[in-house]
Amino acid sequence: MFVSEKTRNHFVDLVSNAYSSISLSDFAKLVGLTELEAGDLASKQKGWTIDAANKMIIPVRKELPESEAVPSEHQLELLTNFVAHLEK
């Protein structure tokens, strides 16, 4: 996979987490494609819909696999340890 493809996939992930809807032209600019190519890319994303009449894309937030989710208690413990280390 080329760097441009990895970057494009990263932006697709960011859009899915940050937007409830985005215009086709804005999405095309973010992923570095023409509107036609961006529409094709969006249509291949699982659960995403395209409102062709208004040229809008409605992405779906990707769920994190459980293995990647860090429990909040663990995050709090890490933060506490970090702050305690800084205070030394």
pLDDT at 1 over 70: no
What residues does each domain of the chain span?
3-63
Give the model's pLDDT for residue 38. 95
> Which architecture, in CATH terms, is 3-63?
Orthogonal Bundle (1.10)
Q: Work out the burial of residue 50: count CB atoms within 10 Å of its CB; fewer than 13 is exposed, 13-18 middle, 19 or more buried.
A: middle
pLDDT reported for residue 4: 83
Whole-number Å distance between alpha carbons of 85 and 88: 5
- In the predicted structure, residue 82 carries a pLDDT above the cut 70: yes
User: What are the residues whose beta carbons fall under 8 Å from the beta carbon of 25, sequence distance 6 or more?
Assistant: 35, 55
E strand intervals along 1-88: 22-23, 49-51, 56-58
Q: Are 30 and 15 in contact (CB under 8 A)?
A: yes
| pLDDT, tens digit (0-9, with 9 covering 90-100), for 16-65 | 999 999 999 999 999 999 999 999 999 999 999 999 999 999 999 877 66
pTM over 0.85: no
